[in-house]
């Protein structure tokens, strides 16, 4: 198992390219199961979760062909198993995204109950009840969701009790091949849901309303192959911008989308960043100034993303003033706070809010990553520490950030990967 060693005190400076979005790529890979034609997916990020999803397809008898640019061609005509085993699913919650496509296209699916980050309950019951309303017979036993349907799924009017990204995506994929019309109310509006919908439309699906809270899908007899490029990763983009702001630096991120980062960019400007944007780039410059504390509240898109709050906690830790961060999406998502306090931060948790009193500088220490975004926040904390920080259990970060130490090195950071 590897760890990262960070020597702090360097202002980040330079430019980097943003990878494809993991949270788009995973459902789009699952969507390739909806057709027996070849689907080519471009701009996949080079991540452990992507490898796991390709392995999952492989264990079903599908043989993805990956080229040197990490584009992948998938033809599910060779599928011979409709089971997603626990060994693969336990590391990645997104594995449940194969449930809807397998059920819609092949009439059966067996998917292990998912694992992934330990950041609170993310119930699968919404997926199950929605698919049952479309005519599926589902039972949960021996740790598996076992689903069948007699004939085709039927269009249904579905109200999601909670806004759920993977729930919306699973039902949307299943509905593309159902008989009749499916309406999803209280649907997730995230850009990654829109990206999946756009890919499905390229495959011949009839979908409207993506990006709003009501998505309408008219089922078609079959889908066909397509070639599709995954959107840029907005969370990776925001993480590097926050790292630059915390270190009083100046960076330019390329191949990204400023239009889906309004909430994050607004908070960075409040922190004192000078921000310029183009069609596919963002430039942030702190002009050497210490950031100011910001207060924020997470909520589903288009509000401030839960996947960015840990990184802002790190920025607030060394900012001028006091900031509060309220988490409304997941419980148990402040596990990074204890580690930052060991580095000299002044952070206290009050219910679902953290109060951060900014200090001049953190002190390097051995810390341990507890989930994907907490890992990123501890790296930012290491970058603003006065000596050496080691971040252990970084397999979490490899699930969501492509070559993070190499990209930070390009920006001047003193960071290296070593065996634990």
Half-sphere exposure of 363 (CA within 13 A, CB side): 6
pLDDT at 115: 58
Per-residue pLDDT at 380 exceeds 60: yes
What does the alpha-carbon distance between residue 237 and residue 260 come to, in Å, rounded to a whole number? 11
pLDDT at 120: 44
Task: Give the full edge-to-edge strand order of the sheet including 108-112.
Answer: 83-84, 108-112, 144-148, 137-141
| Average pLDDT in the chain | 95
Rounded to an integer, what is the distance from CA 11 to the centroid of its chain? Answer: 27
What does the alpha-carbon distance between residue 41 and residue 107 come to, in Å, rounded to a whole number? 25
Q: What is the DSSP letter of 51?
A: H
Per-residue pLDDT at 24 exceeds 90: yes
Name which of 179-183, 247-251, 368-372 the model is least confident about. 368-372
Query: Is residue 368 classed as helix, strand or coil in its secondary structure?
Result: strand
Segment holding 275, helix H or strand E: strand 274-277
pLDDT at 90: 84
Mean pLDDT for 392-406 is 92
Mean pLDDT for 72-100 is 93
Percent of the chain topping pLDDT 90: 87
**Helices vs strands, H then E, count in the chain:** 14, 24
Tell me the whole-structure pTM to 2 decimals: 0.95
- Confidence band for 199, pLDDT divided at 50, 70 and 90: very high
pLDDT at 374: 87
| CA angle (39, 222, 181) in 5-degree steps | 120
Strands (E) across 302-352 are located at 322-326, 346-350
pLDDT at 117: 43
Task: Give the full edge-to-edge strand order of the sheet including 296-297.
Answer: 296-297, 322-326, 353-357, 346-350
Mean pLDDT for 150-175 is 96
Per-residue pLDDT at 122 exceeds 80: no
Q: What is the DSSP letter of 97?
A: G
pLDDT at 222: 98
Helices (H), 46-190: 48-59, 86-89, 99-106, 125-133, 165-175
| Active-site hit among 59, 105, 117, 403 | 117
- Confidence band for 370, pLDDT divided at 50, 70 and 90: confident
Check: CB of residue 28 under 8 Å from CB of residue 198. Answer: no
- pLDDT tens column, 6-19: 999 999 999 999 99
- Confidence band for 142, pLDDT divided at 50, 70 and 90: confident
Q: How far apart are the first and last CA of the chain?
A: 6
Query: Is residue 308 classed as helix, strand or coil in its secondary structure?
Result: helix
Rounded to an integer, what is the distance from CA 127 to the centroid of its chain? Answer: 19
Per-residue pLDDT at 298 exceeds 50: yes
Residue with tokens 């963002």: 282
Helices (H), 151-285: 165-175, 191-202, 234-246, 262-270
pLDDT at 124: 86
Check: CB of residue 286 under 8 Å from CB of residue 244. Answer: yes
Check: CB of residue 265 under 8 Å from CB of residue 247. Answer: no
Mean pLDDT for 383-396 is 94
pLDDT at 69: 79
Q: How many residues does the chain have?
A: 420
Per-residue pLDDT at 349 exceeds 70: yes
Mean pLDDT for 99-122 is 78
SS3 of the chain: helix, strand, coil, percent, to 5 = 35, 25, 40
Burial group, residue 297, by CB count within 10 angstroms (0-12, 13-18, 19+):
middle
pLDDT at 248: 98
Check: CB of residue 323 under 8 Å from CB of residue 295. Answer: yes
Query: Is residue 390 classed as helix, strand or coil in its secondary structure?
Result: strand
- pLDDT tens column, 237-294: 999 999 999 999 999 999 999 999 999 999 999 999 999 999 999 999 999 999 999 9
The answer to whether residue 226 is catalytic is no
Nearest to 52 by CA among 112, 8, 9, 3: 112
Burial group, residue 151, by CB count within 10 angstroms (0-12, 13-18, 19+):
exposed
């Amino acid at each position: 198992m590897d760890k990262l060693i960070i020597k702090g005190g360097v202002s980040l400076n330079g430019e980097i390219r943003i990878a494809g979005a993991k949270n788009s790529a995973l459902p789009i890979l699952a969507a390739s199961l909806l057709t027996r034609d070849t689907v080519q997916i471009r701009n996949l990020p080079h991540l452990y979760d992507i490898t796991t999803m390709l392995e999952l397809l492989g264990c079903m008898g599908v043989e993805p062909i990956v080229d040197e640019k990490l584009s992948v061609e998938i033809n599910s005509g060779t599928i011979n198993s409709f089971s997603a085993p626990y060994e693969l699913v336990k590391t990645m919650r997104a594995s449940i995204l194969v449930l809807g496509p397998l059920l819609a296209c092949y009439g059966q699916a067996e998917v292990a109950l998912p694992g992934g980050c330990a950041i609170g309950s993310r119930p699968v019951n919404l997926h199950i009840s929605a698919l049952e309303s479309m005519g599926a017979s589902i039972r949960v036993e021996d740790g598996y969701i076992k689903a069948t349907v007699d004939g085709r799924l039927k269009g249904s009017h579905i109200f999601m009790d909670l806004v759920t990204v993977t729930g919306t995506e699973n039902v949307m994929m299943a509905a593309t091949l159902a008989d009749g019309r499916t309406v999803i109310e209280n649907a997730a509006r995230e850009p990654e849901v829109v990206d999946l919908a756009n890919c499905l439309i390229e495959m011949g699906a009839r979908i409207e309303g993506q990006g709003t809270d009501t998505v309408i899908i008219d089922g078609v007899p079959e889908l066909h192959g397509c070639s599709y490029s995954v959107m840029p990763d907005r969370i990776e983009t925001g993480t590097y911008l926050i790292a630059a702001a915390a270190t009083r630096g100046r960076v330019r991120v390329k191949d990204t989308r400023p239009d889906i980062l309004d909430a994050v960019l607004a908070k960075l400007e409040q922190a004192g960043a000078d921000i310029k944007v183009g069609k596919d780039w963002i430039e942030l410059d702190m002009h050497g100034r210490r950031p100011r504390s910001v207060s924020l509240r997470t909520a589903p898109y288009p509000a401030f993303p839960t996947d960015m709050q840990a990184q802002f906690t790190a920025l607030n830790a060394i900012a001028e003033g006091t900031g509060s961060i309220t988490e409304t999406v997941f419980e148990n998502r402040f596990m990074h706070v204890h580690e930052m306090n060991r580095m000299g931060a002044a952070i206290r948790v009050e219910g679902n809010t953290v109060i951060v009193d900014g200090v001049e500088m953190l002190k390097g220490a051995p810390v341990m990553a507890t989930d994907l975004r907490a890992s990123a926040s501890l790296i930012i904390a290491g970058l603003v520490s006065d000596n050496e920080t080691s971040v252990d259990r970084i397999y979490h970060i490899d699930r969501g950030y492509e070559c993070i130490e190499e990209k930070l090195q390009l920006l001047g950071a003193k960071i290296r990967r070593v065996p634990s």
